Chains A and B, each alone.
Chain A
Amino acid sequence: MQNKKSPYPGLRPFTEEESIYFKGRDLHIKQIIEQLEKKKITIITGASGDGKSSLVYAGVIPNARAGFFHAEYNNWLICDFRPERNPLTNLAKTLANNFDYSENEIYNELKLGFSSIIKLFKKSKYFIDKNSENWLNATNDEKRIIKSKGANLFILADQFEEFFTNPENYSNGVPSEEAYVTVNLLLETAGISIVEDLPIFIVFTMRSDFISQSVAFTGLPEYIGYSQFFIPRLQRNEFQQVIEEPAMLAGGKISKRLTETLINESREGFDQLPIIQHTLNQLWIMAESGNDEMDLEHLVKLAGLDTKYLSKTDKQEFEKWIKNQEKFKQKFFKSADLTNVLNTHANILYETAFFYFTEIIEWGEKNITENDAKFIIKTAFQSLTKIDQGRAVRNRATLREITDIINNENISYETVCGVLNIFRLKNNNFLRPFIDASDIETQFLHADTVLDITHEALIRNWELLVYWENEEKENYNNFQDFKIQLQRWIDSGKSKEFVLPLGTLVHFENWYEKFMPNKYWIAKYEKSIDSNENLMDEADILADNIKKYLQISRKTITNIEKAKKRRRAIYLIASIVAMIVLGAFTYWAMLEKANALDQQKIAEEKTRLAEEQTRIVEAQKNEILTANEIAEKERLKAENSAKEALWAKAQSDEAKENAVFLRVLAEEQTIIAKNEKLNALNEKVEADKQRIIAEKAKNTAIVASDSTKVLSYLSLARSLALKAQNPYEDPQINLLLAMQAYYFNIKYGGFERNPDIYNALRYSLTANGKNNILNFVKENIVSFFVDERFLTVHTEKNELVQYDLKLNDILSRERLFKIKIPINSSFFLSDKYLVIGFEDRKQKLYFIEDKTEFNLDGHGGLIRSADKNPTNNEFATAGRDKTIRIWDIKEENQKSKKVYTANSRVNAIKYTADGKNILAACNDGSIILWNVETGEDKLLDKKEGTRAISIGENDKRDVLAVGYDNGNVILVYPNKNYNYKNYLLSNTGINAIDFNSSSSVMSVSKNNRNIDMNNIENMSLNTIKIFDHEVKVRNLMFAKNDRLYGLCEDNTIRFWEKDNKTYADIVKSILKRNFTKEEWEIHVGNNVKYETTLKGWNSK
């Protein structure tokens, strides 16, 4: 059996040698050649993975050499180069390979720009001057001989986008001098060739997403307009040729059913061709190097297709086969689809690299472990990619640079080379330069050899690399954030006022400790066109500054903390003094009270004496009145008997005189008694006055006594609340403590939203098994939506799971549609519509009731936010491509109807109540108000050096809140001419914001994992801080019943009640008993009268 050469190149482009197998693009080759014949220059553009390089190397150039290109001469000088980091040097190198001059001579000539290449060509033996006498006097046969010596010049600048992606060539929108000269030379050469009709042809291949940056080079946009060829998408029949015909040409076979499966299973857009080429290459190898017919069974063995598509016999055979595979391989077959072929292949290399290095390669020191080998692979691939505008792209790096970033003295660059070699083998071809089996020298790389990932499709489709890249992205973002803070500190003359705040410091300390960025890694992101040989020294200084800044920040914070502690101690002493003063006042008030009581007693005694006097006087008066009556009777008797006895008259007159005397005496006594009574009344009035004063003093004393008591009880309530958050053997104690705290707090007029009591009630419920964690799906939750009864989550497997909050059970679970690309984000516009964003930067709108999905075609980046217009059937999305796009909610694929482009990526958006405006939170710290109808925009605010990352709004949409990554929250009032107020709520970022139904409470989720529930009327008062969870809350939402739900990073959904009363009612419902007296004394204290918590409290 003969090993046939694979006609499929895998991830790398077709070479000129392989042009015989390059199929499916015949029409496009013809069109490009026709364009070149006419215009002398063609700029071939297309998406990544569209096969631009293959089209030139395996299409245009071989056809030109074969004579299917109408040019002047038979011979072709093909000068091809990639800009890489030194475009002019590379251009000089390729020209030197074709002309009889040294690279140095050509480089010096080229530096002059403009017509230098034309001059070089005209000086060469390949140029035939048709105005020369030699030509003009020649016979036809002689002319033919002369012509056979001439040659056409074909210059190819492949991967032209490297003029923009390499910081040495282009940074901050400005090209380097070398890049500028190179482009000038190429364009000028094309221009002169057109004017003079010279046999010179220029071709660029460039990724279309870099076209907008071409304005950096004078004349380039004009040439793009003049000669661009945008690679068309392959039609079905062309795609079929790509799959079938190379096999046929090479004498192999492919079954029709496999062709159809490959066409149907390959996703469109990004990476379609590289993935299919890689799969075909692996299929060819799997089918005994083309000796067997390639069929479905081979695709299944590559983990590219589910076994259900196999016949029974093939399935049985596969099951036998898989049993014989290594265990680590078997798991890759669980999610078989076409993109998984590449993923599985890369994973197998990752798992076997150590074995290959230690057992197969016969050179190099084998002093590393398998984990070391895996670490080398991970760091190498992270070094060979970089974050550019938020996405991972290829980053060429030398073996030395990779070894430096690994930064382990036991790992030499030879070891790194040995471990990576498996990725460079023929049939793997994941890393350049490839190993040529016939040339053993290609196994060894020099330290300065540049390595490169063969195709970006690997970056997007190898799951492990995607994971590493996310890690790299996080490190990069942290580094960039840190650099801003560091620069401020340096600019301030390293002032202590510019050290990191505590939360930020802890964050960066953790990052530093975990990642330990070294100067080599820093240099990777510090390269620019200004970079020079001092780059490494500068990176070293930066690395040192990072370390120092952290140390100084830590020291300063420690000092501040100490000062704070001292201040706290002073406050404590002051509080104690205040308590003593208060105690003294209470004591004085009690003395005053006692004095007043004494005074009152004296006054009462005096009143009693005065009344006694009054009674005596009254009695004497009565006696006098009685004496008067007797005297009168005697007088009447004397008058009646006057006639009878004169003798008796004298006696009678005497008696009369006596009676008068007694009468006068009695009257005197009456006056005295009256005066006595008056005095007594006066004394009583005085006594009353004294009594009132005493009462007042008594009341004051009572009030003073009550204030002390209230403070004592509120303090006790807080103490009980804190106690309630400790674990007890009998968890009923937690409930009793929390409830008693709540009871005291309400009874003594404490704030209803007391945060300590809130947390005590919450904790006591958790201690009694009433946790607030919903954990009903295993898959990662992408987004969620909640109403009063149902909670719906959207998972990474593209399932909607509806959870019944009343029954505490899953109500339904359904897969929306099959996905091949991982989901990046999703957003519920309401309970009816879901916007889903995929990792390949595409989006769909899903109708939940109709179960239909439609493509949204527009965004060039991942989406970060979506919102529905409250007044009509529109919705908006926004994201990393800096745009906000407006769409209709309609059942068809659509392009965005309106687009707004911001200056930086848009992190969050919300419509205002009138549906006319969209408020956008942007990554450069700006808040933009975009009028959707008129297209006008307004910058509401911009906080330099921060990122606006979240927006929440209340149900009426008359208050919007924007959260920043530095903990600021701005409340915006659309109905008040968009006035806004700023609040600093945290020293970490505000991840999410929402309002409750009555807009009285605003809740924010913070990056330090806490959640705050703020009273919107008074932001500084009564903030409930929830910290009963150890994970960050990615998103939060109030349900209609005002229960707050949070989607947590550990894939759970947690919920919290809106206030203390709701929690108290729940606690009461599960409280089974009261404190015993003993428990009361232990937990509440002897000084407080024992009472029964359960019976004694009515929460209403």
Chain B
Amino acid sequence: MIFDFFTKKIKVFVSEASDDVLYLKSNLEKVLESAGMEVLCINNNENIDENNIIIETQKLLNQADCSIHIIGNSFNRINLDNQNISISEYQLQQAQEKINLNNTEFKVFIWHPTSVSSQISDNEQDDFISQIRQSIHHNMIYSNRDIAISFVEDIRSVMYSFKPKEIKTKNSDLFFIYNQLDEESAKAISNLVSDIIDTQTLEIILSEDIDYSELIVQQVKKSKFMVIYYKNTSDWAEPFVKQVWKKTGGASSNVPILFIGDENVAENEHIDFEAPNVTSIKVANDIIPIEIKVQFDSLTENN
């Protein structure tokens, strides 16, 4: 497995830090660079004024893929952007706004090591931290790791998630899946259904060297409705539908699953899977195409 952090360089905005954690900041910047990331931060210029802080922060945040905010022990309130707040708080506000406004993949990492949190004596800062912990939402990561390398490893694991190989898939209304052992009956059904609904069909052939798991995940994203059909493959069908449900998002998925089997096969009697977003039914083989159409229409009407 090759990780893209060896090839892709992400840009990390590192916020200003209070004096008591400056040593952490300076060490973290070196560790980030050593981990192959580009560090963006306001130059340590004593003459920099409030106005420049605002301009520089916004400029650098716009260039960055993520931001890191190191929380120290003191609040250091100043007058910034017409607010009486600390630089840390201001920069965190700006980063949060970037998440909210642009709805991007931009991530905000808040770093508050345990060794620092155990020494807090400033009430305002305590409130500030408590408020941060209360208001963590999507794309925000709060870390209390003590070791900078460990913290940067976490950043890597979030920023460089493993991207699977892209498989060729097509947009379709219906995604129809069956096992090779049911090929004959399944093809008959899919032929009928595809005449009335735009359908992509997948035959699972166990001996084939295909990553069915990934293929299904990617095809589902381009489909509106998924049908898993079984006739003589009851042993396979139930575990299969469960894994597909899990891999495609379960209750939170946008693509409902119709798990449909032939009721005239005795082995199918106990096959069932009850879960949110799944309709599990058994009907006579001849009626299955009609049932698929009914379910699909019902879905379309509800939407």
Contacts and interface: CB of A to CB of B under 8 A. Distances in A.
Interface string A10-22: 0000000001111
Interface in A220-267: 235-238, 245, 248-251, 256-257, 260-261, 264
B250 A249 contact: yes
Contact of A73 (B137, B144, B206, B212): B206
A22 B236 CA distance: 19
Interface stretch (B48-56, B73-81, B186-194, B241-249): B241-249
A237 B156 CA distance: 9
A27 interface: yes
Given A20-B246, A67-B204, A257-B136, A236 B240 contact: no
Nearest to A264: B144
Contacts of A853: 115
A355 interface: no
B239 A66 contact: yes
B179 interface: yes
Interface string B178-213: 011100000000000000000000001011110011
B114 A62 contact: no
A68 B212 contact: yes
Interface string A981-1015: 00000000000000000000000000000000000
A817 B236 contact: no
Contacts of B138: 256
Contact of A236 (B144, B154, B209, B242): B154
A817 B35 CA distance: 28
Contacts of B134: 257, 296, 309, 311
A483 interface: no
Contacts of B212: 67-68
Contacts of A256: 136-138, 140
A67 B203 CA distance: 11
A68 B243 contact: yes
Interface string B119-162: 00000000000100111111011111001000001100110011
B167 interface: no
A66 B242 contact: yes
B299 interface: no
B295 interface: no
A159 interface: no
A128 to B, nearest CB: 13
Contacts of A147: 181
B242 A62 contact: yes
Contact of B142 (A22, A26, A70, A260): A260
B158 A249 contact: no
A73 B181 CA distance: 10
A859 to B, nearest CB: 19
A27 B162 contact: yes
A250 B235 contact: no
Contacts of B135: 257
17 contacts: A19-B239, A27-B1, A62-B239, A63-B213, A65-B239, A66-B244, A72-B207, A74-B235, A235-B153, A238-B157, A248-B251, A249-B252, A257-B136, A260-B140, A261-B142, A296-B134, A309-B134
A452 B141 CA distance: 39
A155 B156 CA distance: 37
Contacts of B153: 235-236
Contacts of B240: 65-67
Interface of B: 1, 114-115, 117-118, 130, 133-138, 140-144, 147, 153-154, 157-158, 161-162, 179-181, 204, 206-209, 212-213, 232-233, 235-236, 239-240, 242-247, 249-252, 275-276
Interface string A63-104: 101111011111110000000000000000000000000000
Interface of A: 19-23, 26-27, 30, 62-63, 65-68, 70-76, 144, 147-148, 235-238, 245, 248-251, 256-257, 260-261, 264, 296, 308-309, 311, 815, 817-818, 852-853, 893
A675 B278 CA distance: 156
A68 B215 CA distance: 11
Contacts of B157: 235-238
A484 to B, nearest CB: 46
Contacts of B142: 257, 260-261, 264
B204 A251 contact: no
Contacts of A72: 206-207
Given A148-B232, A818-B114, A67 B179 contact: yes
A249 B206 contact: no
A250 B251 contact: yes
A815 B243 contact: no
A828 B157 CA distance: 38
Given A62-B242, A147-B181, 13 more contacts: A20-B243, A20-B246, A66-B242, A70-B209, A236-B157, A238-B157, A250-B251, A251-B276, A256-B137, A260-B140, A264-B143, A309-B130, A817-B114
A62 B239 CA distance: 6
B236 A74 contact: yes
Given A63-B243, A260-B141, A309-B133, A74 B276 contact: no
A66 B204 CA distance: 10
Contact of A65 (B118, B140, B236, B276): B236
B158 A237 contact: yes
A67 B143 contact: no
A74 B246 contact: no
Contacts of B243: 19-20, 62-63, 66, 68
A248 B232 contact: no
B296 to A, nearest CB: 23
Contacts of A237: 157-158, 161
B130 A74 contact: no
Contacts of B276: 250-251
A470 B183 CA distance: 64
Q: Closest 10 interchain pairs by CB? A: A249-B250, A65-B239, A235-B157, A251-B251, A236-B154, A66-B243, A66-B240, A257-B136, A66-B239, A260-B142
Contacts of B206: 67, 70-74
B248 to A, nearest CB: 10
Given A27-B162, A256-B137, A20 B130 contact: no
A817 B115 contact: yes
A19 B158 CA distance: 24
A63 B240 CA distance: 8
Nearest to A852: B115
A949 to B, nearest CB: 35
A63 B213 CA distance: 9
B275 A817 contact: no
Contacts of A23: 246
Contacts of B275: 20
Contacts of A893: 147
B144 A65 contact: no
A148 B207 contact: no
Nearest to B126: A308
Contacts of A311: 134
B267 to A, nearest CB: 11
A812 to B, nearest CB: 15
B15 to A, nearest CB: 18
Contacts of B250: 20, 245, 248-250
A70 B135 CA distance: 46
Contacts of A21: 246
* Residue of A30, A68, A76 with most partner-chain B CB within 10 A: A68
Contacts of A261: 133, 142
B245 A20 contact: yes
A429 to B, nearest CB: 22
A144 B206 CA distance: 12
Nearest to B114: A818
* Residue of A72, A74, A238 with most partner-chain B CB within 10 A: A74
A15 to B, nearest CB: 12
Nearest to B242: A20
A573 B243 CA distance: 96
A23 B252 CA distance: 15
B136 to A, nearest CB: 4
Contacts of B179: 67, 74
Contacts of A257: 133-137, 142
